[in-house]
């Protein structure tokens, strides 16, 4: 029996022999994710009898999953988030991206529907139905309609929303060559009230995810040498998920590498484990 002593706790195992723990010191989170995925890919190739579901990547916070999701997708390795939701399907990320999408394309009705009343602007159901019906009758986008209908555009809450979108769009156009892509996003998130809303409610994890989204945009700019918002949105649109809300599809029997927080892994067992982000 082997006994290990850490901080006054005795940890033991009856297994006499086994593989030793390996330590890899990465330069940053991207390097770490890339290394882990490369090891997994080589491992799956060399040992095809090992099921991907017996391989787990553990991290401290949910916001850290984004790097691994991206690396796994780039490597063509299927994965699932255990007890969680894929990064780009998380509510705060979808809302943040909806602001970017509407500013980039005023005809994006799905983006409009998601953010017209978020953060809350006290826009009632009757007003929203009027916008939907009016846009359908005029055969125009929802955002175009609220600017055409004076009875709507004169309402302060609608007027402020129109100004918000147009102001953000103009600011980005004016500073196109000087404002980095992630700076564009931060500006929009702050102006829209998203950041303030989550800060006021002390929703730390949502704020961490927004910060990680900005990190992703910064990496995209460096990788492709561009600050083009349209190009970025087109790239992440390729991210797919098994279900509409990004959660685990339990009917899918495809073998996948497991991603989860260290806390979420309590009580679970895997043959091969990578502990990252420490």
Domain containing residue 249: CATH number: 3.40.50.300
This prediction has a pTM of: 0.76
103 and 74, same domain (yes or no): no
54 and 102, same domain (yes or no): no
Question: Considering the domain boundaries, does residue 42 fall inside one?
Answer: yes
Question: Considering the domain boundaries, does residue 57 fall inside one?
Answer: yes
CATH code for position 128: 1.10.486.10
Question: Considering the domain boundaries, does residue 252 fall inside one?
Answer: yes
For residue 243, what pLDDT is reported?
A: 46
- Give, for all 278 residues of the chain, the pLDDT tens digit: 344 444 456 666 676 777 778 899 999 999 999 999 999 999 888 988 889 999 999 999 999 999 999 999 989 999 999 877 889 999 999 999 999 999 999 999 999 999 999 999 999 999 999 999 999 999 999 999 999 999 998 999 999 999 999 999 999 888 777 899 999 999 999 999 999 999 999 999 999 999 999 999 998 998 889 999 999 998 887 654 444 444 444 445 578 999 999 998 888 889 899 999 88
Domain region containing 127: 89-205
39 and 72, same domain (yes or no): yes
197 and 247, same domain (yes or no): no
* C-alpha 104, offset from chain centre: 19
23 and 66, same domain (yes or no): yes
Question: Considering the domain boundaries, does residue 197 fall inside one?
Answer: yes
Question: Considering the domain boundaries, does residue 216 fall inside one?
Answer: no
Question: Considering the domain boundaries, does residue 255 fall inside one?
Answer: yes
């Amino acid at each position: 029996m082997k006994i290990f002593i850490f901080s006054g706790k005795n940890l033991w195992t009856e297994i006499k022999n086994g593989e030793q723990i390996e330590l890899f010191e990465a330069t940053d989170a991207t390097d770490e994710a890339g290394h882990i995925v490369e090891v997994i890919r080589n491992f799956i190739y060399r040992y095809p009898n090992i099921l991907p579901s017996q391989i787990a990547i553990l991290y401290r916070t949910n916001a850290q999953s984004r790097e691994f999701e991206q690396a796994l997708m780039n490597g063509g390795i299927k994965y699932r988030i255990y007890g969680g939701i894929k990064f780009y399907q998380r509510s705060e990320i979808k809302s943040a991206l909806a602001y970017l999408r509407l500013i980039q394309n005023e005809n994006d009705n799905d983006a409009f529907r998601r953010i017209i009343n978020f953060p809350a602007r006290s826009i009632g159901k009757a007003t929203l139905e009027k916008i939907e019906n009016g846009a359908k009758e005029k055969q125009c986008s929802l955002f175009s309609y609220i600017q055409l209908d004076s009875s709507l555009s004169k309402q302060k809450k609608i007027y402020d929303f129109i100004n918000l979108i147009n102001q953000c769009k103009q600011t980005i156009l004016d500073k196109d060559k000087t404002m980095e892509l992630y700076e564009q996003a931060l500006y929009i998130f702050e102006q829209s009230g998203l950041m303030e809303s989550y800060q006021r409610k002390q929703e730390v994890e949502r704020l961490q995810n927004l910060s990680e989204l900005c990190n992703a945009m910064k990496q995209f700019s460096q990788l492709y040498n561009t600050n083009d918002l349209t190009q970025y949105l087109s790239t992440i649109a390729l991210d797919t998920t098994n279900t509409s809300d990004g959660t685990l599809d339990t009917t899918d029997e495809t073998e996948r590498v497991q991603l989860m927080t260290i806390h979420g892994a309590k009580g679970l067992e895997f043959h091969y484990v990578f502990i990252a982000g420490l």
